[in-house]
Structure 1
Amino acid sequence: MIPPTSLADSSARTRWFAAANFGLFIHFDQASQLGLDLSWPMVGLTSDDGSGASAHAAVDYLRHVDDFDPRRWDPAALARAAREAGMTYGVFTTKHHSGWASWPSTATPLTIARSPYGRRGGDLVREFVDAFRGEGLRVGLYYSLSDWSDPDYPAWRPDFAPYPFEGYPRPSADEWARYREGLKAEISELLTNYGRIDLLWFDGGWERTQEEWGSADLEAHIRSLQPEIVLNDRLPGVGDYLTPEQTSPGASGGGVWETCVTMNDTWGWSPHDENYKSTGHLLRTLVDSVAHGGNLLLNVGPDRDGALPAKEIRILRELSEWMQRHGESVVGATSGLAPWQFYGPSTRNGDSLFLHLLAWPDEEVIVRGIHPRSVVLVELMTEGRELPFRAVIDPAEARTDHPVGNLVISVPSTRPDTPLPVIRIRSHGSRA
């Protein structure tokens, strides 16, 4: 991963994003009607982890591109579910590596306008943006720099196999200049036709260098259209934040970051992928991200008709139910304690410190190195139950005004019935 060059001077425009904490990623395009993950089957891969280990015969990914007609696509319901689950922003796939544009672009011929849905005026980008704005959520657009269907890129051919990643074939200078102009025209449409766009989520940049993409020129063009937009780090050499995928950052170093995670193993809808993560697993991923200064962008993949699979609906509903009691520990929260102080993710929000219990403790929870005398309430949020606590302070510190010590909390013997129990510690004056 190339470190973003603009991280140091991007704090003002990323202030909202650094506090966003939780967002919804939506992978949906014409291939969803085929039950295929987005784009990768087109080049003979079933995984985009960079290994190429899942190579197989490429599929005719665009064979039903003109039949796309998702009658059950309901972005308003998606936006409502996202808000109820405590999410503050959404990101939608406007164009994946396959090159199919989910809006009626005039800059490329491979668009939704060719399909029955598009001929009736359907525009997935417009519908997403309007729905998420309507719920008070920030809007982000995913856009792939690579385009495996454009002859100027060049388009994918069987003789390119196996997929070469950074070694993807290069076109002539004239073809590349034409491709870059088309790319800029498409981005211009997305950033001028849909009002304010809060975030642009690039992908596909690994196939070319920073110089080949003309990253500095493209960033300047983007910011001339949307000066306050936040950019991820997948346009080489550019970016306001880091985007590890399916994991947290592999090294510390501060800065704003976001991990994108699937509910199962695939990004787009695959009827054969039933390997869903538990709601508890996803909640642990969320609070671990927030506790370490990052965001979680949780993915959904609508099916061939545009509806969410039942298991994804259930997960969003269970996230919403958990948020009803525990949302304050995530929404608007910041990092809490250092790992030595409490053995689990912790967050802060206002006068409260939140302990997320990944495992149910035996008899007591100990919080180290805080101001225990400032604590006025300890509560098991799941049950609304106050918990007994006591301060343990070294005698040498006991006569100071705000002694540092440990807080010992007694907990019930039985774990509450929730995917992730949370303890709130409320303090006054000098925070705990």
Structure 2
Amino acid sequence: MSASTDSTWFTTDRLGMFIHWGLYALPARHEWVKNRERLTDDQYQVYFDHFDPDRYDPAEWARTAKAAGMRYVVLTTKHHDGFCLWDSALTDYKVTKTPHGRDLIGPFVDACRAEGLKVGFYYSLIDWHHPAFPVDGTHPRRDDAAYIEAAADRDIRDYQEYLHGQVRELLTTYGTIDYLFFDFSYAGRDEWWGGKGPDDWDSHRLLALVRELQPGILVNDRTGIPGDFITPEQYQPSGPMTDGGRPVLWEACQTLNGSWGYDRDNLDHKSAELLVRMLVDGVSKDGNLLLNVGPTGRGDIDPHATAVLADLGRWMDLHERSVRGCGPAEWTAPPDCRYTQRGDRLYLHLFAWPLRHIHLPGLAGRVRYAQLLNDASEIVRVQVDPDLPAQNTRMGGQAPGTLTLQLPVQRPDTPVPVIELFLAPRSDRALGA
């Protein structure tokens, strides 16, 4: 991490919105549609010729993100198809040459700042449209022998200058940018022949350029050399992430339905409860969640995404202090639960609602007060004698040092209930249970 980079906002905010948007919103069949269907540039051109998002309202996007509890937003400035959402001087393959005819990035940046949100850019290192990008196993024309032969003399160094030049444009045109997500290196990946990595992107020079232009920016790890944070995608890490045994900043990037771009017929929608659990699980392991939406070709966030984000926002409205600024706890949570902690507040997130009681090892004598976070109603602490066995209606059999809480039978009407535990100093032994 650069000496001038401050990651405090990142580990405080914990939740951000990812936005994948571009020409692929028109076919609405996944953002890799050009790759999956092996489309030629001429076949893909129809989406360029008809790209006119008349309902694009970045202020509404920013309000939706903020209402969902998100505090930073990351937009795809260019995806693997090479289409640019800004008026790049280095290509005509850009939004200002489409029927829409106007820069999309500037209004997005202004809208985020107006809502007090941090601004992030995604930029694809891959470019299937650029004439100097060497064909490889990710390319839509990877099975076209004649095309591959015609492209045999492409020099990645020519593409490097384009790549670096576009990054310079993005980081000098729109003021302070807080976050940069490069995507992605794949040298040595068995599923893609001719994979590209840091030497192909000239990653050391690229990262030096980024640091020079935006000294305070956070940069991910996908150039193939270390950045400021690492980016597990579409899975939840089993524990805090490390590099060589040392803890590292990390952020899970996740979709709402398995697709990043707008995918009209994909109905594999995650529930609000699952999203909350993913967020809490990550924070309990000292990580962030970057949750994606894929707006339609007209520029709307689709109704399924809008509805689930509203549900997420309602949970965050009541429970955000169990997430914001929190990290792992020193105690191990009971089964089907997660702990997060900030200072003397310990938060118990219940993924499953138990009958009447929950037992918290190691917390006897450490809790001054307990309450449900959603309504601040007291949770009673129960004295259980560890020296007595369980018998009939009398509880027992808990290890010494276990705190037992008595819960209402009815689960609170919220995706994941949270109990807020106010901790006492270790020296305080006048707390009973």
Q: TM-score, normalised by structure 1?
A: 0.85
Q: List per-residue Cα deviations over 1:138-163 (Å, max 9, x = no partner).
A: 11100000100011003687652299
CA 1:10–1:233 in 2, change beyond 3 Å: closer, same or farther? farther
Q: Residues 263-310 of structure 1: CA distance to partner in whole angstroms, max 9, x if unpaired?
A: 112111111011101100000000000110000000011112101111
Residues 272, 340 of structure 1: CA spacing in aligned structure 2 closer, same or farther, 3 A cutoff? closer
Pairing 1:352–2:345 present = yes
Aligned match of 2:369: 377
Alignment-derived partner of residue 407 in structure 2: 411
* C-alpha distance 393-426 of structure 1, shift in aligned 2 (>3 A): farther
1:62 match: secondary structure: helix
Other-structure match for 1:184: 164
Q: Relative to 1, partners in 2 of residues 1:12 and 1:180: Cα closer, same or farther, differing over 3 Å? A: closer
Partners of 2:202 and 2:417 in 1: CA distance: 48
Report whether the alignment pairs 1:97 with 2:89. no
Instruction: Find the residue that maps to 2:226 and give its secondary structure.
Output: coil
Q: Distance in 1 between matches of 2:360 and 2:152?
A: 60
**Is the Cα–Cα contact under 8 Å of residues 99 and 150 in structure 1 kept in the other structure?**
yes
Question: Aligned residue for 1:83?
Answer: 66
Larger mean CA deviation between 283-292 and 60-69 belongs to 60-69
The letter of the residue matching 1:61 is Y
Structure 1: distance between partners of 2:18 and 2:336: 30
- Partner of 1:161 in structure 2? 143
Residue 350 of structure 1 and its aligned partner are, at CA, apart by 4.1
Question: Partner residue of 1:240?
Answer: 228
The answer to whether the 8 A contact 1:70-1:305 is kept is: yes
Cα contact 2:236–2:252 (8 A) shared by 1: yes
* 1:408 counterpart SS class: strand
Q: What is the CA-CA distance between 1:208 and the residue it aligns to?
A: 1.1
- Name the aligned partner's letter for residue 220 of structure 1: A
Q: Which moved more, 1:380-389 or 1:281-290?
A: 380-389
Q: Are 1:289 and 2:282 matched, yes or no?
A: yes
Pairwise mapping of residues 29-40 of structure 1 onto structure 2 (< 5 A)?
Answer: 29-38=22-31, 40=32
- Letter paired with 1:67: H
Matched with 2:318 is: 325
Question: Which structure 2 residues correspond to residues 61-76 of structure 1 after superposition, within 5 A?
Answer: 61-76=44-59
The amino acid across from 2:200 in the alignment is E
Letter in 1 for 2:378: E
Quick one: which of 116, 123, 129 aligns to 1:136?
116
2:291 paired with 1:308: no
Question: Which SS does the other structure have where 2:315 is aligned?
Answer: helix
Do 1:283 and 1:319's aligned partners in 2 also have CA atoms closer than 8 Å? yes
Per the alignment, do residues 431 and 278 of structure 1 end up closer, same or farther by CA in structure 2, a change over 3 Å counting?
A: farther
Deviations 1:238-280 (A, max 9, x none): 3111101011236742211101111112111111011101100
Contact 1:153 1:176 in 2 (8 A): yes
Q: Do the aligned partners of 2:336 and 2:352 also contact (CA within 8 Å) in 1?
A: no
**Match of 1:148, as an amino acid?**
W
1-structure distance, mates of 2:323, 2:45: 41
Seen in structure 2, the aligned counterparts of structure 1 residues 223 and 77 have a Cα distance that, compared at 3 Å, is: same
CA distance in 1, matches of 2:298, 2:46: 17
Check conservation: 1:393, 1:406, Cα contact below 8 A: no
- State how many pairs are aligned: 397
SS at match of 2:266: coil
SS at match of 1:77: helix
Rounded Cα–Cα distance in structure 2 between residues aligned with 1:344 and 1:111:
47
Name 1:420's counterpart in structure 2.
416
State the AA in 2 paired with 1:85: A
Matching of residue 229 in structure 1 with residue 211 in structure 2:
no
Secondary structure, aligned partner of 1:117: coil
Q: Is the contact between residue 34 and residue 140 of structure 2 (CA under 8 Å) also seen in structure 1?
A: no
> For 1:211 and 1:393, how far apart are their aligned partners in 2?
64
Alpha-carbon offset, residue 14 of structure 1: 2.5
2:192 maps to which residue?
none
Q: CA deviation at 1:116?
A: 2.2
Give 1:61 shift.
3.0
The separation in 2 between residues aligned to 1:388 and 1:408, in whole angstroms, is 9
The answer on whether the counterparts of 2:337 and 2:348 sit within 8 Å (CA) in structure 1 is yes
Alignment deviations for residues 319-362 of structure 1 (CA, whole Å, 9 cap, x no partner): 11111211111122222244356652111134321111000112
- Structure 2 unmatched runs, 5+: 187-194, 388-399, 429-433
- Structure 1, gaps ≥5 residues long: 1-5, 45-55, 396-403
Q: Distance between the aligned counterparts of 2:376 and 2:140, measured in 1?
A: 61
Is the Cα contact below 8 Å between 1:108 and 1:186 reproduced in 2?
no
- Check conservation: 1:27, 1:92, Cα contact below 8 A: yes
Q: What residue number does 2:354 align with?
A: 361
**For 2:340, what is the secondary structure of its paired residue?**
strand
CA distance in 2, matches of 1:149, 1:12: 34
Aligned-CA RMSD value = 2.7
2:309, 2:373 → 1: CA distance?
A: 20
Rounded Cα–Cα distance in structure 1 between residues aligned with 2:200 and 2:44: 27
Alpha-carbon distance, 1:127 to partner: 1.6
